[in-house]
């Protein structure tokens, strides 16, 4: 045999030398759920280890993460039912929970980078990402709401806006609204290819944001489609997106690779709540080694081509890396 690939696997230093993909804390974005109140860490049943933070507790959590080298955060608001309405008007109200928390975090930790969520569903009494009229999700009327929300977040100090709703034309609409107000250096991480997925279940528990009627299939993509991902990415890139995101991540590694090979923008991937919950459940049952499975999954998303990974494992991974450094 001339070729024995095992020779390059015979010792740890050699294996490391030929390792093609690396995963570091710098690649990770940590989603944080926010809720009104003080001193609160409310556990989310379907997401072991993940909680809703009151703003003061979010500051504590961010301080801990910064010390671990984790610097990018994606906050999402849990909004009380009595503040939700058809127009999601709470979403652009000055001094709403989200805007206050963004301001608080950026004042206290200017070095923390915030990727904020631009979508109606946390504030919508219909639980949809768009304005609902006679059971239909209106596209262009939703854009106006998204732009108001985007401006409120930019004013509060958001660094990167994440439109997560899949309305047509939103990247351009938001980009123009931002530029008109002078926010030319606020970035857009577009949820470019977002599939109508069963893996968002635990997130909707966390935010209490499930659709009250129907599903999201008229705006989120059919999991069967890959060519359509190229269409969405072409549009977002031409509308001024700074990052292209694929969501979910693990069941869509081929899509991450497709975008990576066809576009020059950095690719982000969202390792979503259901993907997190599955691993946690199997690990809790002793069916898999949780730490190794986490590392393997995150590495696979990097290998597929994602630069940035939104993941509920971010802090756990950062802690693991820090523990290993302290022991060596
Ligand atoms: C909605 C939104 C969703 C997630 C982030 N933003 C869910 C949905 O489309 O219903 C899901 C994230 C996750 O599951 O971790 N704007």
Q: Whose CA is nearest to atom 7 of ligand 1?
A: 200
Cα separation values, 257 from 4, 75, 324, Å = 29, 27, 30
CA of 327 relative to ligand 1 center, distance in Å:
37
Band (pLDDT 50/70/90 cuts) for residue 328 is confident
- Tokens in use for 269? 């991937």
- Active-site choice (84, 148, 247, 280): 247
CB 300 within 8 A of CB 250: yes
pLDDT (tens digit per residue) in 267-325: 999 999 999 999 999 999 999 999 999 999 999 999 999 999 999 999 999 999 999 99
Quote the pLDDT of residue 99: 98
Stated pTM of the model: 0.97
Of the candidate CATH numbers 3.60.21.10, 1.10.10.10, 3.20.20.70, 1.10.260.40, the domain formed by 21-327 belongs to 3.20.20.70
Cα separation values, 316 from 52, 65, 190, 225, 312, Å = 17, 10, 26, 33, 8
For a mutational test of ligand 1's pocket, the pick from 164, 191, 216, i.e. the residue with the most ligand atoms closer than 8 A to its C-beta, is: 164
Quote the pLDDT of residue 327: 84
Q: Where are the domains of the chain?
A: 21-327
Clarify whether 194 is annotated catalytic.
yes
pLDDT (tens digit per residue) in 164-203: 999 999 999 999 999 999 999 999 999 999 999 999 999 9
CA of 38 relative to ligand 1 center, distance in Å:
25
Clarify whether 148 is annotated catalytic.
no
- d(CA 115, CA 103) in angstroms, rounded, equals 13
For a mutational test of ligand 1's pocket, the pick from 50, 119, 269, i.e. the residue with the most ligand atoms closer than 8 A to its C-beta, is: 119
Q: Cβ–Cβ contacts within 10 Å for residue 6, how many?
A: 7
Band (pLDDT 50/70/90 cuts) for residue 142 is very high
- Ligand 1 binding pocket (C-beta < 6 A) is 117, 119, 121, 129, 164-165, 200, 203-204, 216, 272-273
Average pLDDT across the chain, whole number: 97
Task: Say yes or no to pLDDT of 109 above 80.
Answer: yes
- d(CA 177, CA 161) in angstroms, rounded, equals 12
pLDDT (tens digit per residue) in 275-290: 999 999 999 999 999 9
Band (pLDDT 50/70/90 cuts) for residue 154 is very high
Q: What is the percentage of the chain residues whose pLDDT exceeds 70?
A: 100
């Amino acid at each position: 045999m001339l070729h024995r690939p095992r020779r390059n696997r015979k010792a740890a230093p050699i294996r490391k030398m030929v390792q093609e993909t690396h995963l570091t804390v710098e690649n990770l974005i940590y989603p944080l759920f926010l809720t009104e109140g003080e001193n609160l860490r409310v556990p989310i049943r379907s997401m072991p280890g993940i909680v809703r933070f009151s703003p003061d507790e979010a500051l504590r959590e961010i301080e801990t993460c910064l010390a671990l080298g984790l610097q990018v955060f994606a906050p999402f608001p849990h909004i009380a039912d009595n503040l939700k309405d058809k127009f999601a008007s709470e979403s652009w109200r000055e001094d709403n929970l989200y805007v206050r928390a963004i301001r608080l975090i950026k004042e206290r930790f200017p070095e923390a980078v915030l990727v904020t969520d631009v979508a109606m569903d946390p504030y919508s009494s219909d639980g949809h990402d768009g304005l609902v009229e006679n059971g239909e999700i209106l596209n262009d009327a939703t854009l106006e709401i998204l732009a108001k929300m985007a401006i409120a977040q930019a004013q509060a100090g958001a660094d990167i806006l994440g439109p997560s709703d899949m309305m047509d034309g939103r990247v351009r609409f938001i980009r123009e609204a931002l530029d008109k107000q002078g926010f030319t250096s606020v970035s857009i991480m577009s949820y470019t290819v977002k599939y109508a997925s069963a893996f968002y279940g635990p997130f909707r528990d966390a935010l209490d944001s499930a659709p009250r009627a129907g599903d999201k299939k008229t705006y989120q993509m059919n999991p069967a489609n890959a060519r359509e991902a190229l269409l969405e990415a072409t549009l977002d890139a031409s509308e001024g997106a700074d990052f292209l995101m694929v969501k979910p991540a693990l069941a869509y590694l081929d899509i991450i690779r497709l975008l990576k090979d066809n576009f020059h923008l950095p690719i982000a991937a969202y390792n979503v709540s259901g993907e997190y919950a599955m691993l946690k459940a199997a690990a809790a049952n002793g069916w898999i080694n949780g730490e190794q499975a986490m590392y393997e999954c995150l590495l696979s998303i990097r290998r597929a081509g994602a630069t940035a990974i939104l993941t509920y494992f971010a802090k756990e991974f950062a802690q693991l890396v820090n523990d290993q450094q302290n022991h060596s």
